[in-house]
Structure 1
Amino acid sequence: MNQRKRAIAKSRRPKVIPFSLDATFFFERAVQSLDRFHYDKALKYFRRAVEYEPDNPVNHCNMAGILSEMGRYEESNVILRSVLDQIDPAMTECYYYLANNYANMELYEAAEESLVRYLETDAEGQFLDEADELLDLLNYELNRPTKLSTIKSKENLYAHDKARELLEAGRFAEAVRILEDIIGRQPDFLAARNNLGLAYYYMGLFDKSVQTIGEVLAAEPGNLHALCNLAIFYQHANQRSELTSLVAVLKKTVPIHPEHVFKLATTLGIIGDHREAYRHFRRLLRTGELAGEPSLHHFAAVAAANIGRLDDAERHWLQAKRLDPSPAVPDFYLRKLAKVREGQEKAPAQYHYHLPFDEQFREWEKRPELVSATLKKDPLIRSSFFWALRHGDRRTKMQVIQALGLVADEEVIEALKAFLVDPEEDDELKRVAVLVLRSIGVEDALNVMFSGRTLTLEARRRSARLPVWDSSWQGILEQAMSQMAERYDVVQQHDMMTLWVDYLSRVYPDVPKLHNASGWAAALEYWTAKMHRKTVTYADLVSRYGASQATISRYANRIDEACGIREKLKLTNRSFQEQG
């Protein structure tokens, strides 16, 4: 009986779940309080984290950041000074935080002194962009320029600003040239190196972008811009293990400056951590510093939709629509949200403030005159096209190559030429890229790697530029390519493409209706064979293309009427006979 009582008593003992009170525990509690905008509680928990890890300068900076957001700038400055004087004098970014606090206190002389001290001691310039903006404010408030003679990072600042402008304008190749030159002169200029990695990424040069960002982090492991950029790179490359460890670091980061909060939030969203992203977007919207940007409301809406907060998502997209004078993007996502509510579609995960690729192409098919203007004026769309050219699926790459041909500037030409010599790219896509380059007037010789062999396609006469490239023209080209692939070498196939562009250019805009694609494709092969002295019969063409002999002959005559092939062949044969 006693044994039974003891067993019952033992079974009724409460289960105790042990937990550890350490700096991480209080950090997480502080973050939860920030989620609810309970700054007093967040401050209390950050103080406890400091008690457990008093030598960790990050804990102190988090506490200073909360005090700054609460408007308690003097207390924040006391902590920042203690970090510099007693804990870690190498945390030079504290000078930048001090400058911001002094500026908010309207103590502009003190702000200037701290900012100059930051720039003097932190030549790599983690906050170089923000420091430059603060300098402009101080120049205005003090009604005089700041003395910059001793600021190491200022030597290349103006060139760096120019490179940033080029990046924002989508002129990535030009920006790369400037940034590489800056780094050659000043290797420790980390802001320039960071932007160089970003430029490589926009151009689709993934390996170079990761290498460059790795160089930034080797010099400064806590560089937030570099960490965020690298996380996005790993996401696109599907490097899950590297991404997981990096995300763990980012989730413990509590930035102070709104631009850094925005950078962190968009990064977390892009890599799929929508809950953490939404927490930071709400912080930004609550402070109001970026609340007038429609893109911020779009990002918040995407994050909210992906964690099931559909009413919040609708509210954010409606606000974006009110703020944007051309609200095509929020209108599209509001329509999409209605389908999400009905269970017809999943929540969108597009953390870019422009329409998705497929939607853009559908719009451009209706109004092709918009393509060139959109790609030229919108750097985000332009950069996404360069990325898709390198990392999209085959269908997307085909669409991008054709769309880029409508822009036809130097950067597009360089990107397509680089595409031609990439051994990893599809040969058929390279043929289309050659066609596009010729159609926009690139007449110099082209180096192309086909099936592991590098060939040089000779320079061509310039054809009249085609303002559009119709899908039916592409279909004829692809059918001819498919039939000729095993019978003609690359140079002969290139000549067939050139002939097709030449014909279309000569007859445009009065291009005949191309109902019988097989007949036109067969006619192109017919003339290509004649130009290269290859034997081909109408019977063979009828058998392979399925078009009648009369149709093939009629289309071949139309091509000849426009391009004068028979006459050119007669002259070539006469010259050959005379030489013989």
Structure 2
Amino acid sequence: MNPRKHAVKNRRKKVIPFSLDATFFFERAVQSLDRFHYDKALKYFRRAVEYEPNNPVNHCNMAGILSEMGRYEESNDILRTVLERVDPSMTECYYYLANNFANMEKYEEAEKALVQYLETDAEGQFLDEADELLELLRYELNRPTKLSTIKSKENVYAHDKARELLEAGHFAEAVRILEEIIERQPDFLAARNNLGLAYYYMGLFDKSIQTIQEVLDAEPGNLHALCNLAIFYQHSNKQEELRELLGLLMKTVPFHPEHVFKLSTTLGIVGKHAEAYRHFRRLLRTGELSGEPSLHHFAAVAAANIGRFDDAERHWQEAQRLDRDSDVPAFYLMKLAKMRTMEESPPLHYHYHLPFDEQFRKWADSPEMVPGALKQDPLIRSSFFWALRHGDRRTKAQVIQALGLVADDEVVEALKAFLIDPKEDDELKRVAVLVLRSIGLNESLYVMFGGRMVTLEAKRKAPRLPVWDSSWQAVLEKAMEQMAGRYDVVQQHDMMTLWVDYLSRVYPDVPKLSKSSGWAAALEYWTAKMHRQAITYTDLVARYEASQASISRYVNRIDEACGIREKMKQVLTIPQLPQLR
């Protein structure tokens, strides 16, 4: 065989084929850029655009080269083409435009483009550079730039707002915002953690556990989530799960003060007072939070629960020194002597407010303080929402009436949810209906009474009453007691509505209600008349043990205020219409 032909054949095998495509020209352009050969780089990027005209990255690369070369107008033309024709979602082009305009000293147009970038770009790739450009524009234009929002920080701002709402006790609104954040950004674990807390404050334990578990699925070591879950297990009586989780938490020694505080309060709430006190002392020794009266109160609670009453006294005295306006330290210092002799148990809750019974006793003397306390103190507010779902019957009745004094949208929604809960007591639901009507809620109410859903139709809107007086409640309860079994739910609701209507009309000149039985009998009398039921004074006298003269007098007083006879007369004299054929 001819050796020359063999050599030629071998050389042909070593030829490497290549194709001219966008990637080839992109790589050549990058090589030219590395050598600062901008003209060549521009030429190659143009060729890449020719091969892939719908690829916005190639266009942006070409615009970038033109900008580096000082050809800002040409660069802007390409950037506008990307935004208008190729890919409007390339919001970073607005930042490139702003940069070009700033280099051209067209500061008004630069500001307009930069605002558009910040308000539409979800990624925030150039946030730091945008901040520097904003500073330049503020200096050049001699005024700050107006921004409605920064899109890439939208969830962060919304989360801050939700936290403020949580701290203010507006849990339903916080839940709405946090749910929206998580829908937009499922991996925002801080928002998911706070959503679990918001559910907990509202008494929705199953949802709170599920939400916190989602955080731990994504980040098993999240201390806030682990602490929250321990508290949720405690209130859900999941003792086995709690025991396993506490084994982990009691071995944890966090460094950051916020984490130490979270762990110590959690251990205290679940009954591990000695471990809680050890962490509280660590916090107080560091000095960072030693000026917080609530921290000294928590340390005192933990100390009292492990029998260290001298330490507890010292901590409560320090809390009192730091917070002269609070009744909490003084209340527990007064109780301390009985704690020492075991006549009273130390407090088990780790909240910086008075116990429920004490708070209600205090408010009984000064009811005007209730709305302010519930609106301004999120701890009191959250404990009230919790007690509405999980307290005993007496506490729930007190909470329902106290919440009626606040009467904001969240309270109304909480009471409406209470009405449709089949597990709640029917008598408590009647109190809730009365409170809703007394604050002027004039809409149909849906109530689960006796296992069936009942619609209570809207009534005439009455002026809002002030604090609900116990003597008014006594009349209502007496009437409810005697009417039970004789009248259906709707008729009993009409009786309550009539009572609220009467009180609203005569307030503030409400007569003395020392004889609650007579007033209750008068309410049943008019309820029976309005529903065309037979009723006699003899029957009312026997059942209510009130004189006929008293009942008749109160019947007339209610009619004078509410005009019931006239209304019934108008109904009776409506002419009969002919039937349609």
Question: Is TM > 0.5 for Structure 1 vs Structure 2?
Answer: yes
What is the distance in 1 between the residues matched to 2:349 and 2:176? Answer: 30
Q: Partners of 1:278 and 1:265 in 2: how far apart?
A: 7
Alpha-carbon spacing, 1:550–1:579, altered in 2? closer, same or farther (3 Å): farther
Q: Give 1:354 deviation, angstroms.
A: 0.5
Q: Measure the CA separation in 2 of the matches of 1:261 and 1:190.
A: 20
Question: Offset of 1:238 from its aligned partner?
Answer: 2.0
Following superposition of structure 1 onto structure 2, how do residues 511-522 of structure 1 map, counting pairs within 5 Å?
511-522=510-521
Q: What is the aligned partner in structure 1 of residue 564 from structure 2?
A: 565
2:367 aligned partner: 368
In structure 2, relative to structure 1, the CA distance for the partners of 1:425 and 1:153 (3 Å cut) is farther
Q: How far apart in 2 are the matches of 1:576 and 1:313?
A: 78
Question: Distance in 2 between the 1:208 and 1:153 partners?
Answer: 29
State the Cα distance separating 1:343 from its structure 2 match. Answer: 3.2
Deviation, 1:363, is 0.8
Which deviations, in whole Å up to 9, do the C-alpha atoms of 1:130-175 show, x marking residues without a partner? xxxxxxxxxxxxxxxxxxxxx9995521111111111111111111
Residue type of the partner of 2:463? A
Q: Which residue does the alignment assign to 1:123?
A: none
Could you say which structure has the greater relative contact order, defined with CA pairs below 8 angstroms and 6 or more residues apart? 1
State the match for 2:439 in structure 1: 440
Deviation at 1:531, TM superposition (A): 0.4
Q: What residue is the counterpart of 1:175 in the other structure?
A: 174
Amino acid at match of 2:521: A
Q: Which residue of structure 1 aligns with residue 164 of structure 2?
A: 165
Could you tell me which runs of 5 or more consecutive residues in structure 2 were left unpaired when the two chains were aligned: 1-149
Partners of 1:194 and 1:222 in 2: CA distance: 13
Task: Kindly provide the amino acid, as one letter, of the partner of residue 484 in structure 1.
Answer: M
| Structure 1: gaps (5+ residues) | 1-150
Q: Distance in 2 between matches of 1:558 and 1:510?
A: 12
Tell me the amino acid that sits aligned with residue 219 of structure 1: A
Aligned to 2:544: 545
What does 1:278-289 align with in structure 2 at a 5 Å threshold? 278-289=277-288
Does the 8 Å contact 1:153/1:189 carry over to 2?
no
Distance 1:152 1:273 in 2: 44
| Structure 2 letter corresponding to 1:575 | I
Are the structure 2 counterparts of residues 305 and 472 from structure 1 closer, same or farther at C-alpha, using a change threshold of 3 Å?
same
Alpha-carbon distance in structure 1 between the residues aligned to 2:284 and 2:575: 77
Deviation at residue 527 of structure 1 after TM alignment: 0.3
Q: Secondary structure of the residue that 1:170 maps to in structure 2?
A: coil
CA distance in 1, matches of 2:250, 2:425: 39
Alpha-carbon shift at residue 578 of structure 1 (Å):
6.9
Tell me what 2:529 maps to. 530
1:442-484 deviation line (CA, Å, top 9, x unaligned): 1011111111111111111111111110112112111111221
Amino acid in the other structure paired with 1:198: L
Cα separation, 2, equivalents of 1:235 and 1:153: 38
Q: State the partner residue of 2:260.
A: 261
What is the one-letter code of the residue matched to 1:529?
Answer: A
Larger Rg: 1 or 2?
A: 2
Distance in 1 (CA, whole Å) between partners of 2:577 and 2:547 is 38
Assess, with a 3 A threshold, how the Cα gap between structure 1 residues 153 and 381 changes in structure 2: closer, same or farther.
farther
Matched residue type, 2:518: G
Match of 1:481 in 2: 480
* Secondary structure of 2:454's aligned partner: strand
TM-score normalised according to structure 2 size: 0.72
Aligned ranges 1:300-339 → 2 under 5 Å: 300-339=299-338
C-alpha distance in 2 between matches for 1:549 and 1:239: 58
For residue 349 of structure 1, report the CA deviation from its aligned partner.
Answer: 1.7
State how far apart, in whole Å, the 1-side matches of 2:221 and 2:152 are: 19
* C-alpha separation in 1, matches of 2:219 and 2:441: 44
Amino acid at match of 1:367: S
Report the equivalent of 2:453: 454
Q: In 2, distance between residues paired with 1:226 and 1:579? A: 70
Say if 2:191 is the partner of 1:192: yes
Deviates more, 1:310-319 or 1:451-460: 451-460
Match of 1:388 in 2: 387
What is the aligned length? 430
Q: CA deviation at 1:327?
A: 2.7
Q: What displacement does 1:341 show?
A: 2.1
How far the C-alpha of 1:579 sits from its partner, in A, is 7.8
Distance 1:576 1:457, change over 3 A: farther
Q: Secondary structure at the match of 2:455?
A: strand
- SS of 1:575's equivalent? coil
Query: Hey, what's the Cα distance between the residues in 2 that align with 1:213 and 1:479?
Result: 46
Output the amino acid matched with 1:332: F
Query: What is the CA distance between 1:192 and its match in structure 2?
Result: 0.6
Contact 1:275 1:303 in 2 (8 A): yes
Counterpart in the other structure of 2:233: 234
Change in CA separation of 1:422 and 1:178 when aligned onto 2, cut-off 3 Å? same
Q: Distance in 1 between matches of 2:332 and 2:353?
A: 10
What is the distance in 1 between the residues matched to 2:258 and 2:507? 50
1:294 equivalent in structure 2: 293
Q: Distance in 1 between matches of 2:369 and 2:486?
A: 40
Separation in 2, partners of 1:154, 1:246 = 35
Is the Cα–Cα contact under 8 Å of residues 282 and 300 in structure 1 kept in the other structure? yes
Residue 138 of structure 1 corresponds to which residue in structure 2? none
Counterpart for residue 50 of structure 1: none
Structure 1 residue matching 2:423: 3-state secondary structure = coil
